[in-house]
Copies of this chain bind each other. A is one copy, B any other.
Amino acid sequence: MMPQFLSTRDAGFEEAFRVLLAQKREDSPDVDAAVAAIIADVRERGDAALVELTERFDRVRLTPETLRISDDEIERLCAQVPEAEREALGLAAERIRAYHARQMPRDESFTDSLGATLGWRWTPVSAAGLYVPGGLAAYPSSVLMNAVPAKVAGVKRLVVTVPTPDGVANPLVLLACRVAGVDEVFRIGGAQAIAALAYGTGAVRPVDKITGPGNAYVAAAKRRVFGKVGIDMIAGPSEILVIADRDNDPDWIALDLLSQAEHDESAQALLVTDDEGFGRAVAEAVGRRLETLPRRAIAGASWRDFGAVVTVRSLDEAAEIADRIAAEHLELLVGDPEALASRISHAGAMFLGPWTPEAIGDYIGGPNHVLPTARTARFSSGLSVMDFLKRTTVSRMTPAALAALGPHAETLAKAERLEAHGMSVRARLDRING
């Protein structure tokens, strides 16, 4: 099972690389009409709709009182988590907290030469909702990556919704909620959970911002409630780009590529190297490792359909290629990874040197693992405390500052034919001038 091999030396490279970049990896089923109906139902009937939809989709019979998972129940389920997982989760939360605490922006206030005082203040979103998928794709690490930054930002009320198909809750997900300081947990999912978070029901009070991953229904629901509440990015399939020279163990690179490929058949794992033989060796190592992998069907399909090995003439060329790909995850396994990193602008997260497999960043490094996909790292960033903060600008003029600036504001207001704007300044200038 071999991926695509490209070389910048080939005459057809530019064309082939453009096709690779433009490749559509995801079929988004059109679920918008179904989602619109679900949202309308939740807005109209509230808890009754949540109870009914949860029975239909998750095969769980609830009442408005049992939509929320009680603290006792969370306690009981958390007690099932093995000690090693408990310890790992605690350490991960602590490291994510320490990293994100450094992201907190500062307020600013300064007085300029005219005496005008200007600045801004950051304040947290009052209430945030975090969607957590249920079932197999329930990732406790994602709970930490969303919830910890929200709490670091100062969000007072943090609500999780997580579906419990057939009534089965994931203890490690609930422990992650507890460790991260989540305030309320509801056992609901799908578009109905997003509707409840955005508009509120009897049991669920509305929030101001919704983050977290989800399937096509959840994504469509987030798009629909955007504006009423804030949302985070809508993430596509995961990607990794590894830039590696020949001084690496092909087996390590193979495993790094497979750790993205195993996420999803639509995931993409790319290798860029300046040594064609090394590229072949990595591809062979991928083949060997694939055989042993529990998720080999998924990882194999991803590698076959979307994987690629690109041979470049130089690391300068590798940097150019990397900027054009703008990968979600970028590993740099070269002699001087810092130097190469400084020549690349577009990537969600960079992992430098042979001892930094991307999986460390997924769990425990400290930086966020919610990152821009599908080349959107050209213009967007991973999740951070900024997603849970907003900035209010503050201005205060003195009579002297207004006397200096007011006439120019009046000139521009007149030029834009906004007379009342000019008059609101002029009335004050007349008082100042006597």
Which residues of A come within 8 Å of B, CB atoms?
Answer: 84-85, 87-89, 91-92, 95, 98-99, 102-103, 105, 108, 110, 112, 116-118, 120-121, 123-126, 136, 139-141, 172, 208-209, 227, 229-230, 234, 249, 251-252, 255-256, 258-259, 261-263, 289, 293-295, 299, 337, 341, 345-368, 371-372, 374, 376-382, 384, 386, 390-399, 401-402, 405-406, 408-409, 411-413, 415-425, 427-428
B349 touches A409 (CB 8 A): no
B230 touches A424 (CB 8 A): no
Give the residues in chain B near A227, CB-CB below 8 Å. Answer: 234, 374, 376
B359 touches A413 (CB 8 A): yes
Can you show 9 pairs from A to B with CB atoms below 8 A apart?
Answer: A95-B405, A230-B376, A230-B379, A258-B424, A259-B421, A294-B419, A355-B397, A367-B395, A380-B390
Question: A412 with B364: in contact, given A355-B399, A391-B382, A420-B255 (CB under 8 Å)?
Answer: yes
Known: A120-B367, A259-B421. 19 other contacts (CB 8 A): A85-B415, A87-B408, A95-B112, A95-B405, A112-B366, A262-B418, A295-B417, A299-B420, A349-B392, A350-B395, A355-B396, A355-B401, A359-B425, A362-B421, A363-B409, A363-B421, A365-B405, A380-B390, A381-B392
Give the residues in chain B near A348, CB-CB below 8 Å. Answer: 392-393
Contact of A391 among B126, B136, B259, B381 (CB under 8 A): B381
B88 touches A411 (CB 8 A): yes
Chain B residue nearest to A349 (CB atoms) is: B393
Contact of A419 among B85, B136, B295, B425 (CB under 8 A): B295
- Write the nearest CB–CB distance from A389 to chain B, whole angstroms: 8
CA distance A392 to B352 in the complex (A): 13
Describe A's contact surface by its main secondary structure.
mixed
B360 touches A405 (CB 8 A): yes
Give the residues in chain B near A255, CB-CB below 8 Å. Answer: 420, 423-424, 427
Chain B residue nearest to A141 (CB atoms) is: B412
- Write the nearest CB–CB distance from A209 to chain B, whole angstroms: 5
Give the residues in chain B near A416, CB-CB below 8 Å. Answer: 139-141
CA distance A108 to B366 in the complex (A): 13
**10 tightest A-B CB contacts, nearest first:** A230-B379, A367-B393, A88-B408, A255-B424, A359-B421, A352-B396, A258-B420, A381-B391, A357-B424, A88-B411
- Write the nearest CB–CB distance from A128 to chain B, whole angstroms: 9
Chain B residue nearest to A356 (CB atoms) is: B397
CA distance A229 to B379 in the complex (A): 7
Contact of A136 among B92, B366, B368, B417 (CB under 8 A): B417
Give the residues in chain B near A362, CB-CB below 8 Å. Answer: 409, 413, 421
